[in-house]
Structure 1
Amino acid sequence: MAEVATSRTFSATSDQLLVVVDPVARRADGESVRIAKDVLSAGAAGAKVCLPDGPEEFARALARRGSRRPVVVGDDRALVRAVTLLHRRRELADCALSLVPVGGALSLARSLGVPMGAVAAARAVLDGTERRMDLLVDDSDGVVLGALRIPPAGGVTRAREGAEGAGRPWLRTCRSLIHTLAPARPSRAVSDPEAGPAQLRVEVDGATLVDLHQPVESVSVAPDASGTARVEVRPAAEAAPLLAQARTVTVSGAHFRYRADATVSGPVRTRTWVVREGAWGLTVPAR
Protein backbone atom coordinates (compact mmCIF):
# COMPACT_ATOMS: atom_id res chain seq x y z
CA MET A 1 0.00 0.00 0.00
CA ALA A 2 1.39 3.37 -0.97
CA GLU A 3 2.33 5.76 1.78
CA VAL A 4 2.75 9.51 1.49
CA ALA A 5 5.29 11.16 3.73
CA THR A 6 3.84 13.49 6.32
CA SER A 7 5.23 15.48 9.22
CA ARG A 8 1.94 15.77 11.06
CA THR A 9 2.22 14.53 14.62
CA PHE A 10 -0.23 14.78 17.48
CA SER A 11 -0.03 16.18 20.98
CA ALA A 12 -1.52 14.30 23.91
CA THR A 13 -2.00 17.55 25.83
CA SER A 14 -3.95 19.56 23.27
CA ASP A 15 -5.87 17.09 21.11
CA GLN A 16 -9.67 16.97 21.17
CA LEU A 17 -10.84 13.42 20.47
CA LEU A 18 -14.14 11.79 19.54
CA VAL A 19 -13.89 8.15 20.61
CA VAL A 20 -16.51 6.08 18.76
CA VAL A 21 -16.83 2.58 20.21
CA ASP A 22 -18.28 0.10 17.73
CA PRO A 23 -21.05 -2.03 19.32
CA VAL A 24 -19.46 -5.26 18.06
CA ALA A 25 -16.26 -4.37 19.95
CA ARG A 26 -18.22 -3.82 23.16
CA ARG A 27 -19.76 -7.27 22.89
CA ALA A 28 -16.54 -8.99 21.79
CA ASP A 29 -14.10 -7.62 24.37
CA GLY A 30 -15.52 -5.19 26.89
CA GLU A 31 -12.32 -5.19 28.96
CA SER A 32 -10.16 -3.96 26.05
CA VAL A 33 -12.75 -1.29 25.31
CA ARG A 34 -12.61 -0.10 28.93
CA ILE A 35 -8.81 0.02 28.89
CA ALA A 36 -8.79 2.01 25.64
CA LYS A 37 -11.30 4.53 27.00
CA ASP A 38 -9.32 4.96 30.22
CA VAL A 39 -6.00 5.55 28.43
CA LEU A 40 -7.49 7.99 25.91
CA SER A 41 -9.48 9.91 28.52
CA ALA A 42 -6.46 10.22 30.81
CA GLY A 43 -4.03 11.21 28.04
CA ALA A 44 -6.00 13.72 25.98
CA ALA A 45 -7.00 17.22 27.00
CA GLY A 46 -10.54 16.48 25.86
CA ALA A 47 -11.94 13.10 24.87
CA LYS A 48 -15.63 12.60 24.20
CA VAL A 49 -16.72 8.96 24.20
CA CYS A 50 -19.65 7.86 22.02
CA LEU A 51 -21.33 4.45 22.31
CA PRO A 52 -23.52 4.04 19.20
CA ASP A 53 -25.99 1.16 19.12
CA GLY A 54 -25.82 0.61 15.36
CA PRO A 55 -24.54 1.86 11.98
CA GLU A 56 -26.90 4.87 11.87
CA GLU A 57 -25.74 6.20 15.23
CA PHE A 58 -22.14 5.42 14.26
CA ALA A 59 -22.56 7.59 11.14
CA ARG A 60 -24.24 10.42 13.06
CA ALA A 61 -21.44 10.49 15.63
CA LEU A 62 -18.79 10.90 12.92
CA ALA A 63 -20.84 13.55 11.10
CA ARG A 64 -21.22 15.63 14.28
CA ARG A 65 -17.61 15.39 15.45
CA GLY A 66 -16.89 19.07 14.73
CA SER A 67 -13.16 19.77 15.15
CA ARG A 68 -12.55 16.62 17.18
CA ARG A 69 -10.22 13.97 15.76
CA PRO A 70 -12.13 10.68 15.31
CA VAL A 71 -10.90 7.53 17.05
CA VAL A 72 -12.61 4.25 16.20
CA VAL A 73 -12.53 1.43 18.73
CA GLY A 74 -13.41 -1.68 16.77
CA ASP A 75 -12.33 -4.20 14.15
CA ASP A 76 -11.51 -4.01 10.44
CA ARG A 77 -15.16 -3.59 9.47
CA ALA A 78 -15.53 -0.60 11.78
CA LEU A 79 -12.45 1.01 10.26
CA VAL A 80 -13.69 0.48 6.70
CA ARG A 81 -17.11 1.83 7.69
CA ALA A 82 -15.55 4.99 9.10
CA VAL A 83 -13.37 5.58 6.03
CA THR A 84 -16.36 4.98 3.74
CA LEU A 85 -18.51 7.50 5.64
CA LEU A 86 -15.79 10.16 5.64
CA HIS A 87 -15.10 9.54 1.95
CA ARG A 88 -18.76 9.94 1.01
CA ARG A 89 -18.90 13.18 3.00
CA ARG A 90 -15.73 14.29 1.16
CA GLU A 91 -13.97 14.83 4.50
CA LEU A 92 -11.08 12.38 4.23
CA ALA A 93 -8.56 14.92 2.99
CA ASP A 94 -8.67 16.96 6.20
CA CYS A 95 -9.25 14.12 8.65
CA ALA A 96 -6.67 11.93 10.39
CA LEU A 97 -8.42 8.78 11.53
CA SER A 98 -7.23 6.68 14.47
CA LEU A 99 -8.02 3.08 15.38
CA VAL A 100 -7.83 1.03 18.56
CA PRO A 101 -8.32 -2.52 17.23
CA VAL A 102 -10.77 -4.60 19.25
CA GLY A 103 -12.56 -7.68 17.90
CA GLY A 104 -11.88 -10.78 15.86
CA ALA A 105 -11.20 -9.48 12.34
CA LEU A 106 -8.00 -7.45 12.67
CA SER A 107 -5.78 -8.57 9.78
CA LEU A 108 -6.26 -5.28 7.92
CA ALA A 109 -5.44 -3.20 11.00
CA ARG A 110 -2.29 -5.26 11.57
CA SER A 111 -1.17 -4.83 7.96
CA LEU A 112 -1.60 -1.05 8.25
CA GLY A 113 0.82 -0.86 11.19
CA VAL A 114 -1.69 -0.34 14.01
CA PRO A 115 -0.53 -1.84 17.34
CA MET A 116 -2.64 -4.80 18.40
CA GLY A 117 -2.76 -4.17 22.16
CA ALA A 118 -5.34 -1.74 23.54
CA VAL A 119 -2.78 0.21 25.57
CA ALA A 120 -0.20 0.45 22.77
CA ALA A 121 -2.84 1.42 20.21
CA ALA A 122 -4.33 4.09 22.49
CA ARG A 123 -0.88 5.56 23.13
CA ALA A 124 -0.25 5.67 19.38
CA VAL A 125 -3.48 7.66 19.04
CA LEU A 126 -2.19 10.19 21.53
CA ASP A 127 1.43 10.50 20.41
CA GLY A 128 1.56 9.00 16.92
CA THR A 129 2.10 10.28 13.40
CA GLU A 130 -0.38 10.58 10.56
CA ARG A 131 0.44 8.31 7.61
CA ARG A 132 -1.28 9.20 4.34
CA MET A 133 -2.12 6.19 2.16
CA ASP A 134 -3.67 5.39 -1.18
CA LEU A 135 -7.30 4.34 -1.50
CA LEU A 136 -9.20 2.35 -4.10
CA VAL A 137 -12.57 3.93 -4.89
CA ASP A 138 -15.13 2.11 -7.03
CA ASP A 139 -17.89 3.41 -9.29
CA SER A 140 -20.51 2.89 -6.57
CA ASP A 141 -18.50 5.09 -4.15
CA GLY A 142 -17.23 2.11 -2.18
CA VAL A 143 -13.67 2.05 -0.87
CA VAL A 144 -10.88 -0.51 -0.51
CA LEU A 145 -8.15 0.09 2.05
CA GLY A 146 -6.13 -3.11 1.77
CA ALA A 147 -7.04 -5.39 -1.11
CA LEU A 148 -9.89 -6.91 -3.10
CA ARG A 149 -10.19 -10.41 -4.45
CA ILE A 150 -12.41 -12.16 -7.00
CA PRO A 151 -13.76 -14.67 -6.10
CA PRO A 152 -13.83 -13.76 -2.41
CA ALA A 153 -11.44 -15.86 -0.35
CA GLY A 154 -13.17 -18.07 2.20
CA GLY A 155 -16.50 -18.24 0.39
CA VAL A 156 -19.49 -15.94 0.23
CA THR A 157 -21.77 -18.10 2.34
CA ARG A 158 -19.30 -18.50 5.17
CA ALA A 159 -18.47 -14.80 5.12
CA ARG A 160 -22.11 -13.80 5.32
CA GLU A 161 -22.90 -16.21 8.17
CA GLY A 162 -19.83 -15.01 10.06
CA ALA A 163 -20.95 -11.39 9.76
CA GLU A 164 -24.47 -12.16 10.89
CA GLY A 165 -23.26 -14.21 13.86
CA ALA A 166 -20.59 -11.77 15.04
CA GLY A 167 -21.04 -11.13 18.73
CA ARG A 168 -23.89 -13.67 18.91
CA PRO A 169 -22.39 -17.06 19.76
CA TRP A 170 -25.85 -18.44 20.56
CA LEU A 171 -26.84 -17.89 16.92
CA ARG A 172 -23.85 -19.84 15.63
CA THR A 173 -24.62 -22.63 18.11
CA CYS A 174 -28.25 -22.87 16.95
CA ARG A 175 -27.19 -22.96 13.30
CA SER A 176 -24.66 -25.67 14.02
CA LEU A 177 -27.33 -27.76 15.79
CA ILE A 178 -29.79 -27.29 12.92
CA HIS A 179 -27.18 -28.34 10.35
CA THR A 180 -26.41 -31.43 12.45
CA LEU A 181 -30.03 -32.55 12.90
CA ALA A 182 -31.39 -31.64 9.46
CA PRO A 183 -31.31 -34.37 6.80
CA ALA A 184 -28.79 -33.85 4.05
CA ARG A 185 -30.22 -32.29 0.92
CA PRO A 186 -28.86 -32.86 -2.57
CA SER A 187 -26.65 -30.02 -3.69
CA ARG A 188 -27.87 -27.72 -6.42
CA ALA A 189 -25.76 -26.41 -9.23
CA VAL A 190 -25.51 -22.62 -9.07
CA SER A 191 -23.93 -20.09 -11.35
CA ASP A 192 -21.29 -18.69 -9.04
CA PRO A 193 -17.64 -17.81 -9.73
CA GLU A 194 -16.66 -19.65 -6.54
CA ALA A 195 -17.73 -22.96 -8.09
CA GLY A 196 -14.87 -22.87 -10.61
CA PRO A 197 -13.00 -20.69 -13.09
CA ALA A 198 -14.74 -17.45 -13.99
CA GLN A 199 -15.01 -15.78 -17.39
CA LEU A 200 -14.04 -12.19 -16.75
CA ARG A 201 -12.57 -9.31 -18.69
CA VAL A 202 -9.92 -7.36 -16.76
CA GLU A 203 -8.86 -3.98 -18.11
CA VAL A 204 -6.00 -1.90 -16.71
CA ASP A 205 -5.85 1.78 -17.70
CA GLY A 206 -8.03 0.98 -20.72
CA ALA A 207 -5.96 -1.96 -21.98
CA THR A 208 -7.27 -5.55 -21.79
CA LEU A 209 -5.14 -7.73 -19.54
CA VAL A 210 -7.34 -10.83 -19.88
CA ASP A 211 -10.52 -11.33 -21.93
CA LEU A 212 -13.65 -13.45 -21.58
CA HIS A 213 -12.33 -16.37 -23.65
CA GLN A 214 -9.63 -17.11 -21.04
CA PRO A 215 -11.15 -18.38 -17.76
CA VAL A 216 -9.41 -17.20 -14.60
CA GLU A 217 -9.08 -18.68 -11.13
CA SER A 218 -8.74 -15.36 -9.31
CA VAL A 219 -8.17 -11.64 -9.62
CA SER A 220 -6.60 -9.52 -6.89
CA VAL A 221 -6.11 -5.76 -6.75
CA ALA A 222 -4.33 -3.78 -4.03
CA PRO A 223 -3.01 -0.21 -3.69
CA ASP A 224 0.71 -0.11 -4.32
CA ALA A 225 3.52 2.43 -4.40
CA SER A 226 3.52 5.51 -6.65
CA GLY A 227 -0.25 5.95 -6.67
CA THR A 228 -1.04 2.79 -8.62
CA ALA A 229 -2.74 -0.53 -7.93
CA ARG A 230 -1.01 -3.89 -8.14
CA VAL A 231 -3.12 -6.26 -10.27
CA GLU A 232 -2.66 -10.03 -10.39
CA VAL A 233 -4.74 -12.36 -12.56
CA ARG A 234 -4.31 -16.12 -12.20
CA PRO A 235 -5.46 -18.01 -15.32
CA ALA A 236 -7.39 -21.26 -14.90
CA ALA A 237 -4.86 -23.04 -17.09
CA GLU A 238 -1.47 -23.83 -15.63
CA ALA A 239 0.20 -20.59 -16.63
CA ALA A 240 2.13 -17.84 -14.92
CA PRO A 241 0.07 -15.09 -13.24
CA LEU A 242 -0.56 -11.95 -15.28
CA LEU A 243 0.76 -8.88 -13.44
CA ALA A 244 0.16 -5.17 -14.02
CA GLN A 245 0.32 -1.75 -12.36
CA ALA A 246 -2.55 0.63 -13.09
CA ARG A 247 -4.46 3.63 -11.82
CA THR A 248 -7.81 2.31 -13.12
CA VAL A 249 -8.97 -1.31 -13.07
CA THR A 250 -12.25 -2.52 -14.61
CA VAL A 251 -13.59 -6.07 -14.19
CA SER A 252 -16.63 -7.22 -16.19
CA GLY A 253 -18.32 -10.39 -17.41
CA ALA A 254 -20.64 -12.88 -15.74
CA HIS A 255 -22.12 -11.85 -12.40
CA PHE A 256 -19.36 -12.01 -9.82
CA ARG A 257 -18.83 -11.33 -6.14
CA TYR A 258 -15.71 -9.83 -4.62
CA ARG A 259 -14.20 -9.40 -1.18
CA ALA A 260 -13.01 -5.85 -0.45
CA ASP A 261 -11.14 -5.80 2.87
CA ALA A 262 -13.52 -7.52 5.31
CA THR A 263 -16.73 -7.27 3.24
CA VAL A 264 -18.18 -9.39 0.43
CA SER A 265 -20.07 -7.43 -2.25
CA GLY A 266 -22.06 -8.31 -5.37
CA PRO A 267 -23.08 -9.95 -7.51
CA VAL A 268 -22.29 -7.33 -10.16
CA ARG A 269 -21.63 -7.49 -13.90
CA THR A 270 -19.00 -4.76 -13.99
CA ARG A 271 -17.04 -2.68 -11.51
CA THR A 272 -14.30 -0.08 -11.90
CA TRP A 273 -11.78 0.88 -9.23
CA VAL A 274 -9.65 4.04 -9.33
CA VAL A 275 -6.60 4.75 -7.18
CA ARG A 276 -6.79 7.95 -5.11
CA GLU A 277 -3.24 8.78 -4.09
CA GLY A 278 -2.74 9.78 -0.45
CA ALA A 279 -6.50 9.99 -0.01
CA TRP A 280 -6.75 9.01 3.65
CA GLY A 281 -4.71 9.28 6.82
CA LEU A 282 -4.27 6.88 9.71
CA THR A 283 -2.45 7.49 12.99
CA VAL A 284 0.40 5.03 13.57
CA PRO A 285 3.23 4.94 16.13
CA ALA A 286 5.89 7.60 15.55
CA ARG A 287 9.11 6.11 14.23
Structure 2
Amino acid sequence: MGEALSRQLLVIVDPSARRADGESVRIAKDVLCAAATAKVCLPEGPAEFARALARRGGRRPVVVGDDRALLRAVSLLHRDRELGDAVLAMVPVGASVGLARSLGVPAGPVAAARAALDGVERRLDLLVDDSDGVVLGELRIPPVGPSGESSGGSGLPFLRTCRSLVRGFGTRSAGSAAPAPGAAARLRVEADGVMLVDLDQPVDGVSVGAGAGFAQVEVRVGAAGGAVRVAARSVTVSGADFRYRADAVIGGPVRRRTWAVRAGAWALALP
Protein backbone atom coordinates (compact mmCIF):
# COMPACT_ATOMS: atom_id res chain seq x y z
CA MET A 1 0.00 0.00 0.00
CA GLY A 2 1.28 3.47 -0.88
CA GLU A 3 1.38 6.41 1.48
CA ALA A 4 -1.91 8.32 1.77
CA LEU A 5 -2.02 11.35 -0.49
CA SER A 6 -2.47 14.83 0.95
CA ARG A 7 -6.02 16.19 1.05
CA GLN A 8 -4.82 19.77 0.83
CA LEU A 9 -5.74 20.38 -2.80
CA LEU A 10 -5.33 23.09 -5.40
CA VAL A 11 -8.06 22.48 -7.97
CA ILE A 12 -7.22 24.26 -11.24
CA VAL A 13 -10.19 24.33 -13.60
CA ASP A 14 -8.94 24.97 -17.12
CA PRO A 15 -11.03 27.40 -19.23
CA SER A 16 -11.48 24.70 -21.88
CA ALA A 17 -13.26 22.48 -19.33
CA ARG A 18 -15.65 25.24 -18.30
CA ARG A 19 -16.53 25.86 -21.94
CA ALA A 20 -16.87 22.19 -22.85
CA ASP A 21 -18.88 20.75 -19.95
CA GLY A 22 -19.81 22.99 -17.04
CA GLU A 23 -21.90 20.28 -15.40
CA SER A 24 -18.97 17.84 -15.19
CA VAL A 25 -16.83 20.63 -13.74
CA ARG A 26 -19.47 21.33 -11.08
CA ILE A 27 -19.71 17.63 -10.16
CA ALA A 28 -15.94 17.29 -9.87
CA LYS A 29 -15.69 20.38 -7.67
CA ASP A 30 -18.49 19.15 -5.41
CA VAL A 31 -16.84 15.74 -4.90
CA LEU A 32 -13.38 17.21 -4.27
CA CYS A 33 -14.52 19.99 -1.96
CA ALA A 34 -16.75 17.68 0.08
CA ALA A 35 -13.89 15.36 0.99
CA ALA A 36 -10.81 17.61 1.11
CA THR A 37 -9.62 21.09 1.93
CA ALA A 38 -9.61 22.47 -1.59
CA LYS A 39 -8.76 25.83 -3.06
CA VAL A 40 -10.45 26.20 -6.44
CA CYS A 41 -8.81 28.37 -9.11
CA LEU A 42 -10.53 29.46 -12.33
CA PRO A 43 -7.72 30.82 -14.53
CA GLU A 44 -8.75 32.68 -17.66
CA GLY A 45 -5.69 31.70 -19.67
CA PRO A 46 -2.24 30.05 -19.65
CA ALA A 47 -0.57 32.87 -17.70
CA GLU A 48 -3.08 32.68 -14.84
CA PHE A 49 -2.86 28.87 -14.95
CA ALA A 50 0.91 29.11 -14.50
CA ARG A 51 0.63 31.60 -11.63
CA ALA A 52 -1.91 29.44 -9.79
CA LEU A 53 0.31 26.37 -10.09
CA ALA A 54 3.41 28.27 -8.98
CA ARG A 55 1.61 29.56 -5.87
CA ARG A 56 0.20 26.20 -4.80
CA GLY A 57 2.36 26.04 -1.66
CA GLY A 58 1.84 22.68 0.01
CA ARG A 59 -1.38 21.95 -1.85
CA ARG A 60 -1.51 19.01 -4.23
CA PRO A 61 -2.55 20.08 -7.76
CA VAL A 62 -5.66 18.61 -9.37
CA VAL A 63 -6.17 19.62 -13.00
CA VAL A 64 -9.73 19.69 -14.31
CA GLY A 65 -9.48 19.88 -18.09
CA ASP A 66 -8.39 18.11 -21.24
CA ASP A 67 -5.08 16.58 -22.32
CA ARG A 68 -3.58 19.98 -23.12
CA ALA A 69 -4.27 21.16 -19.57
CA LEU A 70 -2.49 18.13 -18.12
CA LEU A 71 0.43 18.63 -20.51
CA ARG A 72 0.59 22.32 -19.54
CA ALA A 73 0.80 21.44 -15.83
CA VAL A 74 3.53 18.86 -16.35
CA SER A 75 5.48 21.19 -18.65
CA LEU A 76 5.34 24.04 -16.13
CA LEU A 77 6.47 21.84 -13.23
CA HIS A 78 9.26 20.42 -15.38
CA ARG A 79 10.38 23.90 -16.42
CA ASP A 80 10.52 24.95 -12.75
CA ARG A 81 12.33 21.71 -11.84
CA GLU A 82 9.53 20.80 -9.40
CA LEU A 83 8.04 17.88 -11.31
CA GLY A 84 9.72 15.16 -9.29
CA ASP A 85 8.29 16.47 -6.00
CA ALA A 86 4.68 16.92 -7.14
CA VAL A 87 1.88 14.35 -7.30
CA LEU A 88 -0.61 15.47 -9.91
CA ALA A 89 -4.21 14.38 -10.28
CA MET A 90 -6.60 14.94 -13.15
CA VAL A 91 -10.31 15.05 -13.83
CA PRO A 92 -10.61 14.76 -17.62
CA VAL A 93 -13.18 17.18 -19.04
CA GLY A 94 -13.18 18.19 -22.69
CA ALA A 95 -13.13 16.82 -26.22
CA SER A 96 -9.53 15.54 -26.19
CA VAL A 97 -8.91 13.23 -23.23
CA GLY A 98 -7.40 10.17 -24.94
CA LEU A 99 -4.01 10.77 -23.33
CA ALA A 100 -5.53 10.88 -19.84
CA ARG A 101 -7.38 7.63 -20.46
CA SER A 102 -4.23 5.94 -21.79
CA LEU A 103 -2.47 6.90 -18.55
CA GLY A 104 -5.20 5.24 -16.49
CA VAL A 105 -7.26 8.25 -15.39
CA PRO A 106 -10.95 7.28 -14.99
CA ALA A 107 -13.27 8.79 -17.58
CA GLY A 108 -16.18 10.15 -15.49
CA PRO A 109 -15.96 13.21 -13.22
CA VAL A 110 -17.00 11.32 -10.08
CA ALA A 111 -14.62 8.39 -10.61
CA ALA A 112 -11.76 10.71 -11.56
CA ALA A 113 -12.35 12.96 -8.55
CA ARG A 114 -12.38 9.94 -6.24
CA ALA A 115 -9.11 8.75 -7.78
CA ALA A 116 -7.66 12.20 -7.10
CA LEU A 117 -8.73 11.86 -3.47
CA ASP A 118 -8.15 8.19 -2.70
CA GLY A 119 -5.84 6.97 -5.46
CA VAL A 120 -2.21 6.01 -5.11
CA GLU A 121 0.89 7.68 -6.46
CA ARG A 122 2.08 6.09 -9.71
CA ARG A 123 5.50 7.03 -11.04
CA LEU A 124 5.49 7.41 -14.83
CA ASP A 125 8.19 7.73 -17.46
CA LEU A 126 8.67 10.92 -19.45
CA LEU A 127 10.29 11.88 -22.75
CA VAL A 128 12.21 15.18 -22.65
CA ASP A 129 13.58 16.80 -25.80
CA ASP A 130 16.65 18.98 -26.26
CA SER A 131 14.53 22.14 -26.16
CA ASP A 132 13.13 21.11 -22.73
CA GLY A 133 9.78 20.02 -24.14
CA VAL A 134 8.03 17.00 -22.63
CA VAL A 135 6.04 14.08 -24.02
CA LEU A 136 3.70 12.20 -21.70
CA GLY A 137 2.20 9.73 -24.15
CA GLU A 138 3.53 9.39 -27.65
CA LEU A 139 5.48 11.17 -30.34
CA ARG A 140 4.72 10.81 -34.06
CA ILE A 141 6.62 11.93 -37.14
CA PRO A 142 5.03 13.05 -39.37
CA PRO A 143 2.28 14.41 -37.09
CA VAL A 144 -1.04 12.59 -37.24
CA GLY A 145 -4.23 14.28 -36.09
CA PRO A 146 -6.83 12.60 -33.86
CA SER A 147 -8.87 11.49 -36.88
CA GLY A 148 -5.85 9.62 -38.25
CA GLU A 149 -4.85 7.79 -35.09
CA SER A 150 -5.85 4.18 -35.40
CA SER A 151 -5.19 3.62 -31.70
CA GLY A 152 -7.71 6.28 -30.65
CA GLY A 153 -5.08 8.05 -28.58
CA SER A 154 -4.51 5.00 -26.38
CA GLY A 155 -0.76 4.86 -26.79
CA LEU A 156 1.57 2.81 -29.00
CA PRO A 157 0.18 -0.69 -29.61
CA PHE A 158 3.60 -2.32 -29.41
CA LEU A 159 4.24 -0.93 -25.93
CA ARG A 160 1.98 -3.61 -24.51
CA THR A 161 3.87 -6.45 -26.18
CA CYS A 162 7.50 -5.32 -26.43
CA ARG A 163 8.42 -4.74 -22.79
CA SER A 164 11.21 -7.32 -23.11
CA LEU A 165 13.11 -5.43 -25.81
CA VAL A 166 16.75 -5.02 -24.93
CA ARG A 167 18.63 -1.79 -25.45
CA GLY A 168 20.24 -1.69 -28.87
CA PHE A 169 18.25 -4.62 -30.26
CA GLY A 170 16.13 -4.01 -33.35
CA THR A 171 13.96 -6.21 -35.56
CA ARG A 172 12.52 -5.77 -39.03
CA SER A 173 9.13 -7.15 -39.98
CA ALA A 174 7.87 -6.69 -43.53
CA GLY A 175 4.47 -5.12 -44.00
CA SER A 176 3.83 -4.59 -40.28
CA ALA A 177 2.47 -1.06 -40.52
CA ALA A 178 0.49 0.94 -43.04
CA PRO A 179 2.28 3.95 -44.53
CA ALA A 180 1.36 7.34 -43.15
CA PRO A 181 -0.57 9.65 -45.47
CA GLY A 182 1.56 11.68 -47.87
CA ALA A 183 4.99 11.15 -49.36
CA ALA A 184 7.68 9.35 -47.41
CA ALA A 185 10.27 11.54 -45.69
CA ARG A 186 14.05 11.30 -45.78
CA LEU A 187 15.14 11.18 -42.18
CA ARG A 188 18.07 9.90 -40.19
CA VAL A 189 16.96 8.09 -37.03
CA GLU A 190 19.45 7.12 -34.33
CA ALA A 191 18.82 5.29 -31.06
CA ASP A 192 21.55 5.60 -28.41
CA GLY A 193 23.88 6.71 -31.19
CA VAL A 194 23.18 3.65 -33.34
CA MET A 195 21.83 4.34 -36.82
CA LEU A 196 18.45 2.76 -37.47
CA VAL A 197 17.61 4.48 -40.76
CA ASP A 198 19.70 6.87 -42.85
CA LEU A 199 18.75 9.52 -45.38
CA ASP A 200 18.98 7.08 -48.28
CA GLN A 201 15.85 5.22 -47.11
CA PRO A 202 12.31 6.64 -47.33
CA VAL A 203 10.59 6.78 -43.93
CA ASP A 204 6.81 6.50 -43.74
CA GLY A 205 6.63 7.29 -40.05
CA VAL A 206 8.34 7.31 -36.67
CA SER A 207 6.59 6.57 -33.36
CA VAL A 208 8.17 6.95 -29.93
CA GLY A 209 6.73 6.36 -26.47
CA ALA A 210 8.22 5.96 -23.01
CA GLY A 211 7.69 2.68 -21.21
CA ALA A 212 9.55 0.27 -18.91
CA GLY A 213 12.31 2.84 -18.46
CA PHE A 214 13.09 3.07 -22.17
CA ALA A 215 12.07 5.05 -25.23
CA GLN A 216 10.18 2.51 -27.33
CA VAL A 217 10.89 3.40 -30.95
CA GLU A 218 9.24 2.22 -34.14
CA VAL A 219 10.42 3.37 -37.58
CA ARG A 220 8.30 2.42 -40.57
CA VAL A 221 10.54 2.19 -43.61
CA GLY A 222 9.10 2.76 -47.09
CA ALA A 223 9.55 0.66 -50.24
CA ALA A 224 8.53 -2.57 -48.44
CA GLY A 225 11.29 -2.11 -45.88
CA GLY A 226 8.96 -3.06 -43.04
CA ALA A 227 9.43 -1.72 -39.51
CA VAL A 228 12.41 -1.28 -37.22
CA ARG A 229 11.67 -1.48 -33.49
CA VAL A 230 14.11 -0.77 -30.69
CA ALA A 231 14.20 0.16 -27.01
CA ALA A 232 16.73 2.88 -26.16
CA ARG A 233 17.56 5.63 -23.70
CA SER A 234 17.42 8.33 -26.37
CA VAL A 235 16.40 8.81 -29.99
CA THR A 236 17.59 11.47 -32.42
CA VAL A 237 15.80 12.38 -35.65
CA SER A 238 17.41 14.65 -38.25
CA GLY A 239 17.08 15.53 -41.92
CA ALA A 240 15.04 17.98 -43.93
CA ASP A 241 12.68 20.25 -41.99
CA PHE A 242 10.07 18.05 -40.29
CA ARG A 243 7.17 18.50 -37.91
CA TYR A 244 6.15 16.16 -35.12
CA ARG A 245 3.16 15.58 -32.88
CA ALA A 246 4.04 15.32 -29.18
CA ASP A 247 0.85 14.33 -27.36
CA ALA A 248 -1.66 17.02 -28.43
CA VAL A 249 0.89 19.57 -29.64
CA ILE A 250 2.42 19.98 -33.11
CA GLY A 251 6.11 20.94 -32.98
CA GLY A 252 8.61 22.13 -35.58
CA PRO A 253 9.65 22.50 -38.22
CA VAL A 254 13.10 21.43 -37.04
CA ARG A 255 16.07 19.78 -38.69
CA ARG A 256 17.25 17.85 -35.65
CA ARG A 257 15.69 16.87 -32.35
CA THR A 258 16.68 14.43 -29.61
CA TRP A 259 14.29 12.89 -27.08
CA ALA A 260 15.59 11.14 -23.95
CA VAL A 261 13.62 9.01 -21.51
CA ARG A 262 13.49 9.88 -17.82
CA ALA A 263 12.24 6.87 -15.89
CA GLY A 264 9.72 7.61 -13.13
CA ALA A 265 10.11 11.35 -13.67
CA TRP A 266 6.57 12.35 -12.66
CA ALA A 267 3.73 11.10 -10.52
CA LEU A 268 0.00 10.84 -11.14
CA ALA A 269 -2.69 9.82 -8.64
CA LEU A 270 -4.49 6.80 -10.13
CA PRO A 271 -6.95 4.18 -8.83
Q: Is TM-score (shorter-chain normalized) higher than 0.5? A: yes
State the identity %. Answer: 69
1:206 equivalent in structure 2: 193
1:103 Cα offset (Å): 0.2
Aligned pair partner of 1:217 in 186, 199, 204: 204
Distance 1:155 1:256, change over 3 A: farther
The residue aligned with 1:175 is none
Which residue is 1:234 aligned to?
220
Cα deviation code 1:127-148 (max 9, x no counterpart): 1101001000000100000100
| Structure 1 counterpart of 2:64 | 73
SS in 1 for 2:12: strand
Larger radius of gyration: 1
CA deviation profile, 1:69-126 (whole Å, cap 9, x unmatched): 0000000110011000000000011100000000010111111110000001001111
Q: CA deviation at 1:194?
A: 6.2
Count of aligned pairs? 240
Q: 1:32 aligns with which of 24, 28, 35?
A: 24
Which fold has the larger relative contact order, with Cα–Cα distance below 8 Å and residues 6 or more apart in sequence?
A: 1
Contact 1:248 1:275 in 2 (8 A): yes
CA RMSD of aligned residues (A): 1.6
Q: What is the correspondence of 1:16-95 to structure 2 with a 5 Å cutoff?
A: 16-44=8-36, 46-95=37-86
CA contact (8 A) 1:155 1:194 kept: no
In the alignment, structure 1 residue 279 sits paired with structure 2 residue 265: yes
- Greater strand share, structure number: 2
Distance (whole Å) between structure 1 residues aligned to residue 208 and residue 239 of structure 2: 17
Amino acid at match of 1:17: L
The structure-2 alpha-carbon separation of the partners of 1:264 and 1:109, relative to structure 1 and needing over 3 Å to count, comes to: same
> Which residue number in structure 2 is paired with residue 126 of structure 1?
117
Q: Which runs of 5+ in 1 are unaligned?
A: 1-5, 159-192
Structure holding more helix per residue: 1
Q: Map 1:135-154; keep pairs closer than 5 Å.
A: 135-154=126-145
In 2, the alpha carbon distance for the partners of 1:8 and 1:146 equals 26
1:28-64 CA-to-partner distances (Å, cap 9, x unmatched) read 00000000001000010x1000000000000000000
User: Shift of the alpha carbon at 1:155?
Assistant: 8.6
**Which structure 2 residue ranges, 5 or more long, are not aligned?**
149-179
TM-score normalized by the length of structure 1: 0.81
Q: CA deviation at 1:27?
A: 0.2
SS at match of 1:199: strand
Q: Which amino acid aligns with 2:31?
A: V
Which contiguous aligned blocks of 4+ residues in structure 1 show a shift greater than 4 angstroms? none
- Work out which of the residue numbers 2, 15, 18 in structure 2 matches 1:7: 2
* TM-score normalised by the chain length of structure 2: 0.86
2:188 counterpart of 1:196: no
Does the CA contact (< 8 Å) of 1:216 and 1:234 recur in 2?
yes
